[in-house]
Amino acid sequence: MDMSAYPLELPADDRPMVRFMNVVKSYGRLVVLDQLNLDIAEGEMVTVIGPSGSGKTTVLRMLMTLETINGGVIYIDGKPLTHMERNGVLVPADERHIRKMRASIGMCFQHFNLFPHMTALQNCMEGPVQVLGLSKAEARARSEELLTLVGMIDKKDQHPSRLSGGQQQRVAIARALAMRPKVMLFDEVTSALDPEVIGEVTNVIRKLVAEHNLTMLMVTHQMGFARDISDRICFFYRGKIEEQGPPAALFGNPQKERTKQFLSAVKEAD
Amino acid sequence: MPIWEFLQTYWPLLLNGTLITCAQFLLASVIAIACALAAGLGKLSGNWLIRGAAVIYIEIFRGTSLLVQLYWIFFVLPLFGLTLPSFIAGFLSVGLNVGSYGAEIVRGAIQSVPKGQWEAGYAISMSPAKRMRRIILPQALALMLPPWGNLLIELLKGTALVSLISVADLMFQAKQINASTFLSAQAFGTALVVYYILARFLITPFMRWLERSMARRLGRA
């Protein structure tokens, strides 16, 4: 598709928080995502499920701009994320544009990736102070509030090595929220956790869904959890959305053969 | 002459030499660490000019003999109009030489910081420079301390070569005493022991202490 076919900005009456428009991702000849079109409305919670290698984590990493895309455009809040305007057309974005745009996106990782040389509180304050330019006092107040939200305020002065996986992940959620993102990405945030602590992390995410108007995109293997809290489920298969819909419909009455196979395989594994 | 009598006679010269050796060691260490950081970071730079400069520095100083470099800086640079006092030429050569080895330690340590840390810094929108300074380098520092301990001991022993351009260090004094008294075993034996003591009882414990305090900063102690 010609670049001039992509709008420089999405019109006010058709402006989802996130729009993937004909997005292609390939590694050499291997096409990971093929012409992906996906809208996420403001405040919507969308969960991506699918077999491994179906490209679901890639969707999140592209939105975080950790992966460059090979075709199409991603828009955030109506503005192009992966591209920028030059002489009336969209061209691939430079480092500065991407850094400005990705400030509205927060991400939590499978392996938490907390900064080991900082305490829980310092982890949360790092972005607000160093990137947003908040004063230490403001950043501390904001971080303490968020650590309270995730139930980690009494451990705020501990280094990550002294925290359990579930505790580290909750701090990581607070760290991402401290940047006040419009969109939060959760990349298999419970996959590296012991079963008995998964609940403390999913409960934090439930609380976010219930009390905050955040737009969220999540990849998870916790089907029950996904069913409970998502507004919409997207089932990915071989780099395409095979089927999507509200959780009740997709889990209760899947239409496609692939979806049925995947869901019954997952149910057996449980 | 018994060793006790030898030390009683020559201790002022030997002490002087030891102090000069310590000064050479400290100044050369500063040069080595600064060059290693600059070249190690430079080698990872996206700018080919910076990367090229780092590679040329490392190749020249790691690929040729320290003694030849020392002679170059002391005897050849004056031919191009740059005359350095022997004291400065001494620690400069040793520092530049060891820095080229250190550069690879710095580069290796930076690249050993887990990918997740780079991505986490990226995800909170840090600029590459800030991420390096605030997130990556503090962790790389902890990784590079043990090999640096080794390298600094090498550096201390390397400073003995500066005696060849007449810097009055420990080795120089030992040679002087030997030349005038022929007490070779006592003179070089004492030098040997002093180098060992400096390495074993000053550098090694200091590096251990640094490692421990770094581990504490990472919350591991």
Complex confidence, ipTM: 0.93
Indicate yes or no: CB of A116 within 8 angstroms of CB of B127.
no
Instruction: Answer whether residue B162 shows pLDDT above 80.
Output: yes
Instruction: Answer whether residue B221 shows pLDDT above 60.
Output: no
What is the per-residue pLDDT across B65-122, written as a single tens digit (0 to 9) for each? 999 999 999 999 999 999 999 999 999 999 999 999 999 999 999 999 999 999 999 9
Which positions in chain B touch A99 (Cβ < 8 Å)?
Answer: 125, 127
Indicate yes or no: CB of B125 within 8 angstroms of CB of A131.
yes
Angle between helices B3-43 and B86-112 (to 10 degrees): 50
CATH number of A3-104+181-269: 3.40.50.300
pLDDT computed for residue B96 by the predictor: 97
- Nearest CB partner across the interface for A115, out of B122, B130, B135: B135
Q: Kindly indicate the confidence band of residue A1, based on its pLDDT and cuts at 50, 70 and 90.
A: low
User: A102 CA to chain B: closest CA distance, Å?
Assistant: 7
Q: Kindly indicate the confidence band of residue A270, based on its pLDDT and cuts at 50, 70 and 90.
A: low
Please check whether residue B41 is in contact with residue B106, taking contact to mean a CB–CB distance below 8 angstroms. yes
Mean pLDDT calculated for residue range B21-30 = 98
pLDDT computed for residue A55 by the predictor: 85
Instruction: Answer whether residue A187 shows pLDDT above 90.
Output: yes
Q: Kindly indicate the confidence band of residue A52, based on its pLDDT and cuts at 50, 70 and 90.
A: confident
pLDDT computed for residue B220 by the predictor: 66
Q: Kindly indicate the confidence band of residue B215, based on its pLDDT and cuts at 50, 70 and 90.
A: confident
Q: Considering only CB atoms, which residues of chain B are within 8 Å of chain A? A: 114, 116-117, 119-120, 122-128, 130, 134-135, 138-139, 142, 217-220
Instruction: Answer whether residue B25 shows pLDDT above 60.
Output: yes
Does the domain at B3-217 match CATH 1.10.3720.10? Answer given as yes
As a whole number, the mean pLDDT across chain B is 94
Indicate yes or no: CB of B123 within 8 angstroms of CB of A66.
yes
Instruction: Answer whether residue A38 shows pLDDT above 60.
Output: yes
Task: Decide: residue B47, CB within 10 A, 0-12 exposed, 13-18 middle, 19+ buried.
Answer: exposed
Ordered by start, the domain boundaries in chain A are 3-104+181-269, 115-180
For B119, residues 6+ apart whose C-beta sits below 8 A from its C-beta are A66, A109, A113
Quick check: A27 contacting B, CB < 8 Å? no
Quick check: A180 contacting B, CB < 8 Å? no
Instruction: Answer whether residue B30 shows pLDDT above 90.
Output: yes
> Is B75 in a helix, a strand, or coil?
helix
Question: Is the entire prediction scored with pTM above 0.95?
Answer: no
What is the per-residue pLDDT across A153-166, written as a single tens digit (0 to 9) for each? 999 999 999 999 99
What is the per-residue pLDDT across A74-131, written as a single tens digit (0 to 9) for each? 999 999 999 999 988 999 999 999 999 999 999 999 999 999 999 999 999 999 999 9
Indicate yes or no: CB of A126 within 8 angstroms of CB of B125.
no
Both structure tokens of A133: 């330019």
Mean pLDDT calculated for residue range B129-146 = 94
Angle at A240 between CA A239 and CA A243, to 5 degrees: 140
For A195, residues 6+ apart whose C-beta sits below 8 A from its C-beta are none
Q: Kindly indicate the confidence band of residue B139, based on its pLDDT and cuts at 50, 70 and 90.
A: very high
Residue of B nearest to A127 (CA): B124
Instruction: Answer whether residue B19 shows pLDDT above 90.
Output: yes
pLDDT computed for residue A263 by the predictor: 93
Quick check: A159 contacting B, CB < 8 Å? yes
Cα gap A28→A32, rounded to integer Å: 10
pLDDT computed for residue A41 by the predictor: 95
Instruction: Answer whether residue A61 shows pLDDT above 70.
Output: yes
Distances (CA, A) of A33 to A22, A82, A242, A245: 10, 16, 12, 20
What is the per-residue pLDDT across A208-258, written as a single tens digit (0 to 9) for each? 998 888 999 999 989 999 999 999 999 999 889 999 999 999 999 999 999
Please check whether residue B150 is in contact with residue B208, taking contact to mean a CB–CB distance below 8 angstroms. no
Please check whether residue A223 is in contact with residue A266, taking contact to mean a CB–CB distance below 8 angstroms. yes
Which of A105-114, A143-152, A189-198 shows the lowest per-residue confidence on average (mean pLDDT)?
Answer: A189-198
Residue for token pair 């199409």: A72
**Long-range pairs for B42-49 at CB < 8 Å and ≥24 separation?**
B42/B103, B43/B103, B43/B107, B44/B107, B44/B110, B44/B111
Indicate yes or no: CB of A114 within 8 angstroms of CB of B120.
yes
As a whole number, the mean pLDDT across chain A is 93
